[in-house]
Structure 1
Amino acid sequence: MSTPGPPRPLRADAARNRELLLRAAREMFAQRGLDVTLDEIARHAGVGVGTVYRRFANKEELVEALFDDQLDRMIALAEESLARADTWDGFAEMFRRFSALMAADHGLREVLLHNTYGHDRVARIRERFVPAMDAVVRRAQQAGVLRPDVEPTDLPIIETMLGGVEAFAQPVRPELYRRYLTIILDGMRARPGLTALPVAALTAEQFDELAGKR
């Protein structure tokens, strides 16, 4: 039995159409989230809908292809945070940049927080990203700069809250979420006299269960 060779490269016109589709999908998902249809993406790209299906079997395959790079960026943010000498600056800057990516890209927010598309691939990315994020949280707590009762599952919940602010203020002040991010970061910083949190954070299993139901 012969071994299949490497995949054949796309013809120039096929490669160009694929890039047009990815660019159109990136723009539309960022603005409107993942409810955009393949027909709408084809029109925005200036190609026929048949071209979409020749390049991608379904919308989930398109979403996975598009957000691979973005999801890898999230992992890189956590790794860069761990490399910073100032532990609090590393944690806070990771959170700010994470929030900026989510605010600018509604589709990315849905992929990461709502588990809408690309389930298997997002699960694999989470397997890499969650330990990196956990390491950032634990490092900041061990340094005494992050309150000890913060859990890694708190961070995506906070991003969901900030996403609500961004969506509410988008027509007038899309950057308003940064005000509340600063307030939240100040509330997460360790200091004397912290008020005890009245409810425990979600476990990783509870978070995955809730994300899968969105």
Structure 2
Amino acid sequence: MPATASRPLRRDAQRNRERIVAAAREVFATRGFAATLDDVAHHAGVGVGTVYRRFPTKEALVEAIFADRIEGVVAVAEQCLAEPSAWDGLTRFMVYACHTHAEDRGLRDVMLSLGMKKRFPDSGDRLETVITELVARAKDEGTLRTDFEATDVPIIFTMVSDLAGAPAGAYDRYLRLVIDGLRACPRNADLGPALTRDQVIGVLSGCVPPVRPRSSAAQ
């Protein structure tokens, strides 16, 4: 009999995997990349060895629990690109993404991390393309200020999502304030040059923790 590439998991192993994934979604949503596999094991009610048998690294677990979530964000972005109003499409996506990041710290960290496109190359490329098109389309429509660039989008996401723990109402207040500041207006002050891609990467690296802390090879 030819050897198969992989065997189906036993029922108990499959149940453990599902418990681990469900627990990881909850732990990462609250703690983001600061969460450890020990945290996940404790929340799932299993030994950490069980977690490591299913997911040998935290990177593997991150990829397993966020692939579908990121694909969902990309799908919404593509829907927004089809909006008749370019301004409505851009701002709808920005509001959706900011709220999603605020509700799930792990999703926020993975989407704004340096490894986003390495872990999810197809979704990352599609999202970058759609955001660029959303910005260009709104500029062509004349509703978006001309000095705003697609590279400004992840910086805004980072800034606003950090307000998720602020007093009630503050989050939406400042998100709307930022969006209103993007409107094209004859009295718009000059923003100066936009950050380069490398500069944006540098800023995000200081705001989003790495999946694996440099001090711990185990996580």
TM-score band by shorter chain is 0.7 to 0.9
Consecutive unaligned residues in structure 2, runs of 5 or more: 209-219
Q: Distance in 2 between matches of 1:137 and 1:87?
A: 8
Any residues of structure 2 matched to 1:1-214 within 5 Å, and which?
A: 5-115=4-114, 120-167=118-165, 169=166, 172-173=167-168, 175-198=169-192, 200-212=193-205
Q: Distance in 1 between matches of 2:117 and 2:137?
A: 29
Q: Distance in 2 between matches of 1:95 and 1:54?
A: 38
Q: Distance in 1 between matches of 2:126 and 2:117?
A: 14
Following superposition, the deviation at residue 58 of structure 1 comes to: 0.9
Contact map agreement 1:64 1:118 (CA 8 A) in 2? no
Following superposition, the deviation at residue 63 of structure 1 comes to: 0.8
Q: Distance in 1 between matches of 2:36 and 2:110?
A: 16
Following superposition, the deviation at residue 82 of structure 1 comes to: 0.8
Q: 119-128 vs 25-34, which deviates more?
A: 119-128
Question: What letter is aligned with 1:68?
Answer: A
Q: 44-53 vs 204-213, which deviates more?
A: 204-213
**Aligned residue pairs: how many?**
207
Question: What letter is aligned with 1:109?
Answer: R
Structure 1 moving runs of 4+ over 6 Å? none
Q: Distance in 2 between matches of 1:127 and 1:209?
A: 19
Following superposition, the deviation at residue 26 of structure 1 comes to: 0.8
Question: What letter is aligned with 1:190?
Answer: A
Helix, strand or coil at the partner of 1:25: helix
Following superposition, the deviation at residue 119 of structure 1 comes to: 6.6
Q: Distance in 1 between matches of 2:127 and 2:11?
A: 35
Query: TM-score by structure 2 length?
Result: 0.86
Percent identity, please. 44
Contact map agreement 1:21 1:52 (CA 8 A) in 2? yes
Q: Distance in 2 between matches of 1:89 and 1:130?
A: 18
Q: Distance in 1 between matches of 2:116 and 2:38?
A: 19
Q: Distance in 2 between matches of 1:126 and 1:97?
A: 17
Question: What letter is aligned with 1:206?
Answer: Q
Contact map agreement 1:112 1:122 (CA 8 A) in 2? no
Contact map agreement 2:117 2:123 (CA 8 A) in 1? no
Q: Distance in 2 between matches of 1:24 and 1:152?
A: 35
Consecutive unaligned residues in structure 1, runs of 5 or more: none
Give the structure, 1 or 2, with the largest relative contact order (CA under 8 Å, sep 6 or more): 2
Query: TM-score by structure 1 length?
Result: 0.88
